Amino acid sequence: MIPQPKSSAKVLSVVKSAFKHLFLIVMSIVSIYPVLWVVSTAFTPGETLATGWTLVLGFVPVPTSPTLEHLSFVFGWKDFGLWLTNSALVTSSTVVATVAITLPAGYALSRRNFPGRSQAMFSFLLPQMFPGVVTIIPQFLIFATLGLVNNYLGVIIPYTVSSLSLSVFIMKSAFDSVPKDLDEAAIIDGASEFKAFRRILVPLTLPHVATVALWAFMGSWLDYALAHVMLSDNSLWTLPLALYSLIQPNYTLFGTFAALSVIMAVPVFIVFMVFQKYLVSGLTAGAVKG
Amino acid sequence: MARVTLENVTKVFGEVVAIKDVNIDIADGEFLVLLGPSGCGKTTALRVVAGLEKPTTGNVYIGGMLVNDVHPKDRDVAMVFQSYALYPHMNVYTNMAFPLQMRKHPKREIDERVRRAAELLEISELLKRRPKELSGGQRQRVALGRAIVRNPKVFLMDEPLSNLDAKLRVQTRIELKNLQKRIGTTTIYVTHDQAEAMTLADRVAIMKEGEVQQVDPPTQVYAGPANRFVAGFIGSPAMNFIEGTLVTREARLMLDAGEFIVPIDTSLSEAIKRLEGYEGKTVTYGIRSEDVAVGSSPFDGGVEVSVFGTELMGSEQFVHARAGKSLVVARAPMTFRVSIGDRAWINLTSSNAHVFDAKTGRALV
């Protein structure tokens, strides 16, 4: 016979699990609902919101007569190609710069003991202590002096710097988790310090590198505020600026707005799907010893 | 293969002196074991030879060449780490090929050498596996394989067997000894396990607090310890030590231990008498358990003791007894009948005994 306490423990665990699932389902709906809304709007004729839908299951908005007119309008938009190129250029430069700086910086903080090491670590944390918007105006003034306003560098540099704060710490903890014996073994095996870094440390911390790259990608691909201040020249716009231009004081092209939002979300979606596994392990790695 | 020399090597970390004035000359093809308790500096000495630490003062020579400023990768040494330090993202083959790839050997030669080393270590069927798919013993072999594959001048081994279970450790250390003799490469091996040191070494260097206490073949280290530390560190059970004063009674040199007197064996007393000022000198008398005669009834020259423990080891037993303030362990056959609390008699006079200066610990004879 099964003892009484065990069976009540089983019931309790089923109830707990049910509550957990219920909570997750509710949270998922709350998160997904606005996205469904935007996607439906992108495929619904006209430029209005919340009309021309049928609600499936009582809450999933599905266009009654789906259309591709908004998507084709966006793709046909005169400067869309230019803005897409700008966004791609700014984002890829930010990602490359972030990874290129973060890897050696994380390595130095993890493996080298140099004067000012703790101050250097603190300085990387500093930008995280203020809301990003607060520093936009001083940044604009400095960049204006340097002639970097209306220049790709005017956004690439701040995007890179702001993604460094967390990224350097992620890489430092990633390198910390790799036993020093491995670098030393590689060095005795005939590798230079750089080769040991490239052949041993970097491959072992790839999930973290992926996390760092994604962090930089998201920060620059989706930013509006800084780009709005730094890039007033229409030919240098990135996609978020183009998106915002659809909101006018007297009218908003909601259908087109939603279509562009969907287009902008596609790369993010793909990147997340591809790197999902790495991203989770990268963000949690180093949290638990052993 | 090469001769390795450490000449007055000192290594200081901040305010901590890790090794102090170390002088060891390791012959070509020799198997030298650095033995000592934790924190004695043995691993630091090994890392200095590897080039992972730079000596604060002193010189390191490999194959007659001063290597103080030579990068580890250019010293042509191979190291086996306690953790094995296998590259987790590479399979066994790539782990073993890595040192050869770094030295830009042709692909075909790399393949040949990796397969030959794998065969030698009987790990050919593991070549495609990742380290995490291997047992401790297999990982240890791969680490050895990575070391031998490139035929270095010197093998450096930092407690490579300490992560294996007891049975596998014994088996592997015999294999390791045979392997080293077959390959003939100069080897420096760090351990805190004296059984490992005694079985593997051509010579053992015993270290304490950063200083080398004695460098000699295992038998010599056991039979002729240079000081009290070595005498106490080597041997299981540890050597018995009895504090006392050297006195002459009835024309014979004796140790006056307070509660009892131990006549010193003639062969030893002759040597002691040649030392200046031996009379009245406070010394430590050392005698190993196998040199202590034990009986359950009084005998001529026997010191009465009370038994407070016995340890049966199989064919023999260790009898722990209290003689005055001193604790003495005697080795007796399994058939010797004695129980806790019994009286017993021991004879501490032996030509194999040692006499150490009570202050400096140095062996007097």
pLDDT (tens digit, 9 = 90+) per residue, A98-145? Answer: 999 999 999 999 999 899 998 988 888 887 788 878 888 899 999 999
In 3D, which of B101, B8, B23 has the Cα closest to residue B56?
B8
- Predicted confidence at residue A3, as pLDDT, reads 53
- Cβ–Cβ < 8 Å for A108, A171: no
B144 interfacial to chain A (CB closer than 8 Å): no
By mean pLDDT, which of B56-60, B101-105, B172-176 is the weakest? B172-176
pLDDT at A250: 83
Is residue B271 within 8 Å of residue B265, measured between CB atoms?
no
Q: Are residues A42 and A133 in the same domain?
A: no
Could you give the CA distance from residue A49 to residue A36 in angstroms, rounded to a whole number?
13
pLDDT at residue A284 is higher than 80: no
Distance from CA of A193 to the nearest CA of B (A): 10
Token look-up 């790539």 returns: B94
Instruction: Identify the residue among B13, B86, B96, B98 best suited for mutation to test binding to A, counting A beta carbons within 10 A and taking the highest.
Output: B98
> Torsion angle of alpha carbons B69, B74, B77, B78, nearest 10°?
120
ipTM of the complex: 0.85
Give tens-digit pLDDT for B148-177: 998 899 999 999 998 888 888 888 888 889
Contacts of residue A11, defined as CB under 8 A and 6 or more positions apart, other chains included, come to none
Q: Across residues B98-119, what is the average pLDDT?
A: 95
Please tell me the number of Cα atoms within 13 Å of A88 on its side-chain side.
7
Q: Are A63 and A187 members of one domain?
A: no
- Do B98 and A188 lie within an 8 Å CB cutoff? no
Cβ–Cβ under 8 Å, residues B233 and B194? yes
How confident is the model at residue A21, as a pLDDT? 95
Output the pLDDT for position A289.
32
Q: Is the pLDDT of residue B47 over 70?
A: yes
* Residue B360 vs residues A166, B355, B363: alpha-carbon distances, Å: 58, 12, 9
pLDDT over 90 at B226, yes or no: yes
Rounded distance, CA B56 to CA B309, Å?
49
Say if residue A49 is in the same domain as residue A171.
no
Domain definitions of chain B by residue range: 4-226, 240-357
Distance from C-alpha of A124 to C-alpha of B59, rounded to nearest angstrom: 42
* Closest-CA residue of chain B to A183: B85
Question: What is the interface size between A and B, counted as CB pairs within 8 Å?
Answer: 53
Topology given in CATH for the domain delimited by B240-357: OB fold (Dihydrolipoamide Acetyltransferase, E2P) (2.40.50)
Whole-number average pLDDT of chain B: 93
Same-domain status, A48 and A160: no
Q: What is the pLDDT of residue A290?
A: 31
Write out pLDDT tens, residues B253-292.
999 999 999 999 998 888 888 887 888 889 999 999 999 9
A52 and A134 share a domain?
Answer: no
Domain co-membership, A101 together with A239: yes
Contact A189 B146 (CB under 8 A): yes
Taking phi over 0 as left and psi of -120 to 50 as alpha, with beta for the rest, B29 belongs to left
Judgement on whether residues A58 and A140 belong to the same structural domain of the protein? no
- Examine the domain organization and report whether A221 and A152 are in the same domain: yes
pLDDT confidence of residue A287: 41
Residue ranges of B 69-108 with Cβ closer than 8 A to chain A: 71-73, 77-79, 81, 83, 85, 87-89, 98-99, 102-103
CB contact under 8 A, B83 and A192: no
**Three-state DSSP class for A3?**
coil
pLDDT > 70 in chain B, percent:
100
Q: Which residue has the higher pLDDT, B325 or B216?
A: B216
Q: Which CATH number fits domain B4-226: 3.40.225.10, 1.10.10.60, 1.10.760.10, 3.40.50.300?
A: 3.40.50.300
Q: How far apart are CA B253 and CA B265, in angstroms?
A: 8
- Among the listed residues A218, A221, A267, A224, the one whose alpha carbon sits nearest the alpha carbon of residue A243: A224
Does A185 have pLDDT greater than 70? yes
Q: What are phi and psi of A95, to 5 degrees?
A: -65, -45
DSSP state letters, B236-301: SSPPEEEEEEEEEETTEEEEE-SS-EEEPPHHHHHHHHTSTT-TT-EEEEEE-GGG-EEESS--TT
Minimum distance, in Å, between the CA of residue A82 and any CA atom of chain B: 42
Residues A55-61 have a mean pLDDT of 77
| Exposed/middle/buried for residue B200 (C-beta within 10 Å: 0-12, 13-18, 19+) | buried
Torsion A121-A122-A127-A130 (CA) sign = positive
SS3 of residue A245 by DSSP: helix
Enter the tokens of residue B245: 């004063």
Pairing of strands B252-256, B240-249: antiparallel
Q: Which helix (H) or strand (E) holds B305?
A: strand B303-312
Q: Identify how many contiguous H helices and E strands chain B contains and give both numbers.
A: 9, 20
A51 lies in which domain range? 38-67
Q: Is residue A103 part of a domain?
A: yes
How many distinct structural domains can be found in chain A?
Answer: 2
Task: Give the CA-trace dihedral at B66, B69, B74, B79, to 10 degrees.
Answer: 90
Answer yes or no: is pLDDT of A276 > 60.
Answer: yes
Tens of pLDDT, residue by residue over A149-182, are 999 999 999 999 989 888 999 999 999 999 999 9
Chain centroid to CA B103: 34
Average confidence (pLDDT) over A44-55 = 76
Q: Do B99 and A182 touch (CB under 8 A)?
A: no
Q: Do A46 and A83 share a domain, yes or no?
A: no
Give me the pLDDT at residue A283, please. Answer: 56
- Output the pLDDT for position B190: 96
Which of B26-35, B177-186, B197-206 comes out lowest in average pLDDT? B177-186
The DSSP secondary-structure symbol of A198 reads: I
Residue with tokens 């084709």: A72
* Together in a domain, A154 and A53: no
Enter the DSSP assignment of B126.
Answer: G
Q: What is the pLDDT of residue A282?
A: 55
- Which one of A181, A182, A189 has the shortest CB-CB distance to B102? A189
A286 band by pLDDT with thresholds 50, 70 and 90 = very low
pLDDT band of residue B343 (cuts 50, 70, 90) is: very high
Please state, in angstroms and rounded to a whole number, the distance separating the CA atoms of residues A65 and A101.
Answer: 50
